[in-house]
């Protein structure tokens, strides 16, 4: 489902300080943001947001994204307003998204927003001058997640270039994998798409790969050959909330499960990422395996989001 906006087909921010799609930032800016995230990892607490108010508007549930954005604001000395449940807001009385955004713009210097409709964050940028960071819009994009994914890949692999990245699970609705593919266009990746036919990578993202010279192969089997030749395995949850037919969800929800026994021949430096939350797709016995990185990945979200907040507010971060 898409927000009814005439700008839907562009899907990039109208306001250069906003971040609607990962396409809003190019290679150079990605590298700058990763360097800034590194500074925040070295020193997360800095008083850079004195007097600034950041609104976190979560029309969809979240644990990591909302709490890491709010932690980032707190660690930078700013203040947070917002909501984690829109049913407690005037949305439940029929207030439109446009009016909500215009109201919040009276109070905040930056809006971080998650919404179930694709294009909702872009729509928000059209009705306010306040910068907007898309914290996930339906099955479309999750660009701040991508920045922490890139940071995690860079930290673990020592580079972003020439990596083999295997994406597993819900590639149809998975906004994190959609954003990641688009960001990796600059770094000559090879992708493996592992999914059942119901949850395969949408044609538009495969077309994006072809148009940008990105190699990819598609697999139904999560085979040892795929696992053992990957630098990154990026697991995803099958998202129950995106299915109109619950029976279809039941049929596909447990098709891909990674356990420790499957990792014996993996490349030494291979790391397992997952945007989380996980359900059954990574067994608990992987958590203590040296290839597991998903909890560290979530911690990296704090540093990446501190960097993104400063970008949107035009704040220079020195050493």
- Residue numbers 22-81 binding ligand CP by CB under 6 A: 62-65
Number of residues forming the site for ligand CP (CB under 6 A): 9
Enter the DSSP assignment of 190.
E
Cα separation, 298 vs 276, in Å, equals 8
CB neighbours (10 Å) of residue 261? 9
- Residue numbers 126-145 binding ligand CP by CB under 6 A: 136, 145
- Residue numbers 144-163 binding ligand CP by CB under 6 A: 145
Tokens of 234: 């990026």
Tokens of 292: 């597991």
Which range, of 91-99, 123-131, 200-208, 272-280, touches ligand CP by CB under 6 A? 272-280
CB of residue 287 to ligand CP, shortest distance in Å: 17
Residues 82 and 57 sit within 8 Å (Cβ to Cβ): yes
Give 131 or 275: the residue with its C-beta nearer to ligand CP.
Answer: 275
Handedness of CA 133, 10, 198, 221 (dihedral sign): negative
Give 156 or 176: the residue with its C-beta nearer to ligand CP.
Answer: 176
- Residue numbers 274-293 binding ligand CP by CB under 6 A: 275-277
Give all strands of the β-sheet with 232-235 in edge-to-edge order.
215-219, 190-194, 164-168, 232-235, 271-273
DSSP 3-state of 60: coil
Residues 72 and 110 sit within 8 Å (Cβ to Cβ): no
Give 58 or 214: the residue with its C-beta nearer to ligand CP.
Answer: 58
**Nearest Cα to Cα of residue 181 among 226, 220, 232, 138:** 232
The answer to the question of residue 100 lying near ligand CP (CB under 6 A) is no
Give 169 or 275: the residue with its C-beta nearer to ligand CP.
Answer: 275
Cα separation, 171 vs 106, in Å, equals 38
Site string for ligand CP, 232-271 (x = CB under 6 A): ----------------------------------------
CB of residue 148 to ligand CP, shortest distance in Å: 9
CB of residue 303 to ligand CP, shortest distance in Å: 15
- Give bridge partners of residue 164 from the DSSP assignment: 190
CB of residue 91 to ligand CP, shortest distance in Å: 19
Give 206 or 239: the residue with its C-beta nearer to ligand CP.
Answer: 239
CB of residue 142 to ligand CP, shortest distance in Å: 6
Residues 167 and 199 sit within 8 Å (Cβ to Cβ): no
Give 26 or 277: the residue with its C-beta nearer to ligand CP.
Answer: 277
Alpha helices in 168-211 (DSSP H): 175-183, 203-211
Binding residues (CB under 6 A) for ligand CP: these are 62-65, 136, 145, 275-277
């Amino acid at each position: 489902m898409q927000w009814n906006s005439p700008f839907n087909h562009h899907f990039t921010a109208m306001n250069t300080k906003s971040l609607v799609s990962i396409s809003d930032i190019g290679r150079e800016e990605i590298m700058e943001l990763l360097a800034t995230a590194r500074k925040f990892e070295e020193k997360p607490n800095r008083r850079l947001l004195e007097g600034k108010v950041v609104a976190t508007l979560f029309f969809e549930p979240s644990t990591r994204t909302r709490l890491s954005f709010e932690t980032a604001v707190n660690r930078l000395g700013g203040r947070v307003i917002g909501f984690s449940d829109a049913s407690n807001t005037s949305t439940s009385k029929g207030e439109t998204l446009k009016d909500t955004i215009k109201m919040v713009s009276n109070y905040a210097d930056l809006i971080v927003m998650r919404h179930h409709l694709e294009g909702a964050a872009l729509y928000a940028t059209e009705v306010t001058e306040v910068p907007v960071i898309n914290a996930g819009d339906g099955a479309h994009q999750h660009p701040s997640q991508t920045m922490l994914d890139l940071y995690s890949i860079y930290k673990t692999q020592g580079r972003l270039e020439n990596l083999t990245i295997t994406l597993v699970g819900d590639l149809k609705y998975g906004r994190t994998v959609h954003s990641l593919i688009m960001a990796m266009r600059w770094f000559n990746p090879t992708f493996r798409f592992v999914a059942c036919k119901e949850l395969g990578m949408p044609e538009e993202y495969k077309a994006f790969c072809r148009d940008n010279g990105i190699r990819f192969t598609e697999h139904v089997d999560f085979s040892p050959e795929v696992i053992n030749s990957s630098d990154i395995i990026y697991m995803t949850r099958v998202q129950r909330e995106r299915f109109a037919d619950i029976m279809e969800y039941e049929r596909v929800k447990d098709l891909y499960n990674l356990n420790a026994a499957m990792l014996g021949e993996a490349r030494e430096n291979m790391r397992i990422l997952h945007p989380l939350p996980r359900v059954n797709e990574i067994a608990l016995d992987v958590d203590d395996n040296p290839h597991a990185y998903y909890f560290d990945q979530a911690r990296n979200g704090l540093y990446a989001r501190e960097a993104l907040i400063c970008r949107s507010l035009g704040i220079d971060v020195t050493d």
